[in-house]
Amino acid sequence: MSQPVGQTKPMQDLIERLDLEKLEENLFRGSSPQNGWQRVFGGLVIAQALIAAQRCVDPDRIVHSLHAYFMRPGDPSIPIVYQVERIRDGSSFTTRRVVAIQHGKAIFSMSASFQVEEPGFDHQVTIPDVPAPETLMGEAEFRAAFLAQAPDTVKKYWGRERPIEIRPTSLTHYMSREKLEPEAHIWVRASGLVPNDRHLQTAILAYLSDMTLLDTSLYAHGTSIFDPELQVASLDHAMWFHRPCRLDDWLLYTQDSPSAAGARGMTRGSIFTRDGRLVASVAQEGLIRKRAND
């Protein structure tokens, strides 16, 4: 397939991977990029599961929340099969359950609720006052300035092109072992054009919602997900979609971690448009465990 004008290869690849193959009614198949990672990125599984659920819902019903559990690491070398269960069809709300399967076992499950859009009460919190994304170091500048001295895991993460560009307002946690406040403000943006399709845009928003959350839960401990002594993995993920959002500009992803205990870290997130509209809220708990000594 030729690459559209204004499109990037990583975003084109993501859009193609969200176009799931239909195997049978309520049954779909997706694939993962072969980028050398040992497991499938959780955000991709969330996004593909949401696409599968949307394919089994009337198009006028828009997802307003999802609640998911990661049960096994995804294997990027083989396809993922998504099985959709039609739980309920009401006059205003529709509920679907999706199970992702590999090697004959469930690796992920998600419940999603869809609603016919309607007017109602409207309020929101205020967007934080942070530096604009144009004033921050871009990924190309970051790679040039810091990657030569960075650990291999950091080089691998930052050294490849991705469908979502991120610009943290602070890079301190990558450069030091200083114990920081467990909060982050990160600008995120699609690296290429996203079609004007509400369901696809929502799925890509879900994809990017899984980025950087676990890292925020480690700030207070002077470490990051790149620490080879840590075992880090998402356990569950919840997301609420408040307002429609086009993905043609920067979004501010604000995050804070209210607790870490029992080898788990919990992080909350809010996603704002540049002009301050709150479009989604996120919560995630993840495993953050010191690896056992050999």
Q: What string of DSSP letters covers 91-116?
A: SSEEEEEEEEEETTEEEEEEEEEEEE
Give the 3-state secondary structure of residue 17.
helix
Do 142 and 148 form a contact (C-beta atoms < 8 A)?
no
**Residue whose entry in the numeric block shows the structure tokens 């990661």:** 70
The two tokens of residue 81 are 């099969």
Q: Which of 32, 83, 210, 270 is catalytic?
A: 210
How far apart (Å, rounded) are the C-alpha atoms in residues 110 and 249?
A: 29
For the question of residue 234 being annotated catalytic, the response is yes
Q: How many CA atoms, within 13 angstroms, populate the side-chain half-sphere of residue 195?
A: 12
How far apart (Å, rounded) are the C-alpha atoms in residues 28 and 51?
A: 10
Cα 39 to Cα 2, 9, 75, 89, 99: the distances in Å are 28, 21, 5, 34, 17
Q: Is the dihedral of CA 118, 283, 127, 186 positive or negative?
A: negative
For the beta carbon of residue 262, count every other beta carbon within 10 angstroms: 10
Q: Which of 83, 234, 257, 281 is catalytic?
A: 234
Active site residues: 210, 234, 284
